[in-house]
Amino acid sequence: EGVRNAAEFARQSVDDKVASARTAWNELKTADNLPAEVMAQVKEASGKLMVFNYHGGLLKDEVYPLGKKYTAGWSLAIADGGQVLLGTGKNTPGQVLLYNTQTAKVTKSFYPYTNKYKGGINVASGDLNADGAREIISVSLSDKRPRVAVFNNAAKKLAEFTVSGFFGPQEISLATVDV
């Protein structure tokens, strides 16, 4: 409980420092099975990624997974092994990236729909099939009928389906929770 409270406090203090930001955090286990917290934050309309520990201490700053010229923004989530899962913003090829916070490198990059799709992607990560590994979940943001796709960590598509709302096309947000 103390770790979660510290993480929530750190997340709030990080949010206060960076206006218009998205934050993702998750309690993880280190190699020696000790609890560790990884928090990632991206500033809207920017290609910059920052990674924090659960105390709010900066682990990585000035990270630009697609280079400094990329400014379309990100959606983000925490994936297996403390990796940061990123979905590209609108008006750029719709791409999903896995960024390893330990090696400071992109370990996987793929186009969940096609490399011609430029509508933006929201991402989430969660163990959907109870195999102990988190799946990568993406949703297209600007299709008339948004598509949700589920992948394993090797980017193999496991499922895809469309969603629609009563009031027509809407931007879909994703989230996962362990129960």
Strand-pair partners of 35: 29
| pLDDT higher than 90, residue 145 | no
Range of weakest confidence among 58-62, 65-69, 146-150, 168-172:
168-172
CB 157 within 8 A of CB 163: no
Residues of the chain with pLDDT > 90, as a percent, come to 24
User: pLDDT tens digits, residue range 67-109?
Assistant: 889 888 888 888 887 788 899 988 999 999 998 877 888 999 9
What 8-state DSSP symbol labels residue 90?
Answer: B
User: pLDDT tens digits, residue range 153-167?
Assistant: 899 999 999 887 666
| pLDDT higher than 90, residue 143 | no
Task: Residue 97: count other Cβ atoms within 10 Å of its Cβ.
Answer: 21
Our CA dihedral for 81, 87, 93, 97, rounded to 10 degrees, sits at -10
Tell me which H or E stretch contains 44: none
Task: Residue 135: count other Cβ atoms within 10 Å of its Cβ.
Answer: 20
